Amino acid sequence: MTEDLTQTIDIETPELVVVSYTIAGLGSRVTAGLIDLVICIVGFIAVILGLALVTPDGTGPEGTMATAVAIAITVLLQFVVLWGYYLLFEGLRDGQTPGKRMLGLRVVRDGGYSIDFSASAVRNLMRFVDLQPVFSYAVGITSIALSKTGKRLGDIVAGTIVVRETMVRQPARPSVRRRAEAIAAAPAVAKLNEQEFQLLERWAERSGLDADRRRALTTQVVNRLSHALDIDANQTDAARLLQLLERERGARQRGAAARGATGAAARGRWC
């Protein structure tokens, strides 16, 4: 039997639900890194060619000064391109650069939370150490290979991890008309408290898990929210959770109070 070399990490949420992430392998990370590096090099070359077109010839005092300024700008732009590229894409695309997106990878913070600009900035400042010597990424690759969670130095310092996502089939979401009907027919009081409702929404958002982990997570959430689920043998657990999610969203849009709410919250949102 072939040994499964896939590495996973289990993270327990505040709702006591365990979510498993698949750690991105060294090969996929190197491939994604090469794609991003090629994009950065192409962009950098384009900038250099643009500077060359507007910089005067290096003859005479003015030409010498212009050449020195161009060299200084080139060094600065090299930093901006290599650092800004990763910072902007990871911050604006929820941890995915074009290379990571093509390979189905994503950067998340320890604990499974989305990466923010500050964590991305720290992570990518350390990239200049990880890519040594001279764009070979020998330091980073060695760190990934030796780390149990596949972290390069930037990930260790920033508290991040690179995980692999897999697209899985999910039951079709209700249409706009059905959603409107669900809102209109929603009960006056929600069945879930705010913590349970947030757990259900996070379950719906984690559609990138592979099929086995998705089923395990679904079972945990069903057990946690069993008091609010309708018993229907013709529906899968995932379909029951989606139905409950639409009903709870509808109840809240109508101003229903969350279960267990007190004070102003118990009187609804439209008071």
Residue 99 makes CB contacts below 8 A (sequence gap 6+) with 31, 32, 33, 34, 35, 36, 39
Q: Sketch the domain layout of the chain as residue ranges.
A: 8-164, 176-267
Mean pLDDT score, 166-170: 53
Mean pLDDT score, 204-220: 79
Mean pLDDT score, 183-209: 73
Q: Which of 19-33, 79-93, 224-238 has the lowest mean pLDDT?
A: 224-238
The answer on pLDDT for 1 being more than 70 is no
> Collapsing DSSP states into helix, strand and coil, what is residue 32?
helix
Local confidence band at 57 (pLDDT 50, 70, 90 cut-offs): low
Local confidence band at 68 (pLDDT 50, 70, 90 cut-offs): confident
Local confidence band at 244 (pLDDT 50, 70, 90 cut-offs): confident
For 241-267, the DSSP string reads HHHHHHHHHHHHHTTPBPTT--GGGGG
Structure confidence at residue 43 (pLDDT): 85
Local confidence band at 147 (pLDDT 50, 70, 90 cut-offs): confident
Give the pTM. Answer: 0.57
The answer on pLDDT for 125 being more than 80 is yes
Residue 263 CA, chain-centre distance (Å), reads 36
For residue range 178-190, list pLDDT tens digits in order: 555 555 554 556 7
> Collapsing DSSP states into helix, strand and coil, what is residue 188?
coil
Mean pLDDT score, 104-114: 86
Local confidence band at 266 (pLDDT 50, 70, 90 cut-offs): very low
Q: Are 212 and 219 in contact (CB under 8 A)?
A: no
More confident residue, 151 or 240: 151
More confident residue, 76 or 10: 76
